[in-house]
Amino acid sequence: MSKDHHVRAKKNLGQHFLTDESIAEKIADSLSYKGYDHVLEIGPGMGVLTKYLLEKDVTIHVIEIDTESVSYLKNNYLNLADRIIEKDFLKYNLKEVFEEQPFAVIGNFPYNISSQILFKTLEMRDQIPEFSGMFQKEVALRICSKEGSKVYGILSVLTQAFYNATYLFTVPPSVFNPPPKVDSGVLFLTRKENYILPCDEKLFFRVVKTGFQQRRKTLRNSLKTFDLSDNLKSNLIFDQRPEQLSVEQFITLTQLIENDINS
């Protein structure tokens, strides 16, 4: 492929190429670049963001599923060539590259898998101190929202249990080729100092996911499957609906359930 032959956007891969250099630079500048030596970009496409990342004083790795984008990157970013992982981010075992080292994650994500990208990040939280990314605006707002908000949900609680989440800025469809149908939003996550929860973490995930399955119901109703004692269920916390509980209250709730199950 010639150097200036551009990648044809493929819908099934969620390809919307960013055309605004100043936004790419702003996204690259959103990480602190402190506390880790490696950064992984997911879905670099033609490298609009990668180019600014390569200016930073860290080692840049990219993971890209699209063969055509990979050959474009190999032709245009010669110094990146041996750090291009041609794989599906969701399936690839990142320990093969990073072993136990910490790394930050960044990208203008394919929107069809952006929640799954976040879940995989949460699973690897031990190694990921920072995360910056472009989502569909509505999803980015949801991840950063607080209890009491209409959009507060599973993604908000699970993310904010481990990370401080900041919504940075909105990006309009007009700066992409082809333009998506919706606005985009960039968010920044920085891992909390105490990101080990004072409760059973597996149970915490189950409590949050089950609680939000029926968001209009009280927790007493939606957590029935946990087979809790009548004594515990009389606790006033069960009168609430999931969207009213802060992250800390979800942790307390998990502790109560843990004690109840074990007694």
Task: Give contact residues for ligand SAH (rule: CB under 6 A).
Answer: 13-18, 42-45, 48-49, 63-66, 69, 88-90, 108, 110, 113
Q: Is residue 16 annotated as involved in ligand binding?
A: yes
Catalogue the long-range contacts made by 165-171 (C-beta closer than 8 Å, 24 or more residues apart): 165/189, 166/190, 167/140, 167/141, 168/30, 168/132, 169/26, 170/137, 171/20, 171/23, 171/134, 171/137
The count of other CB atoms within 10 Å of the CB of residue 208 is 23
Q: Which residue is nearest to ligand SAH (CB)?
A: 43
Q: Is residue 223 annotated as involved in ligand binding?
A: no
- Residue 14 vs 102, nearer CB to ligand SAH: 14
Q: Is residue 43 annotated as involved in ligand binding?
A: yes
Place of tokens 């481990």: 162
- Residue 92 vs 238, nearer CB to ligand SAH: 92
Q: Is residue 88 annotated as involved in ligand binding?
A: yes
- Residue 90 vs 196, nearer CB to ligand SAH: 90
Give min distance, CB of 97 to ligand SAH, in A: 14
Give min distance, CB of 25 to ligand SAH, in A: 12
Catalogue the long-range contacts made by 215-219 (C-beta closer than 8 Å, 24 or more residues apart): 215/153, 215/241, 215/242, 215/243, 216/241, 217/241, 219/245, 219/253
- Residue 149 vs 177, nearer CB to ligand SAH: 177
Give min distance, CB of 13 to ligand SAH, in A: 4
Place of tokens 């033609």: 46
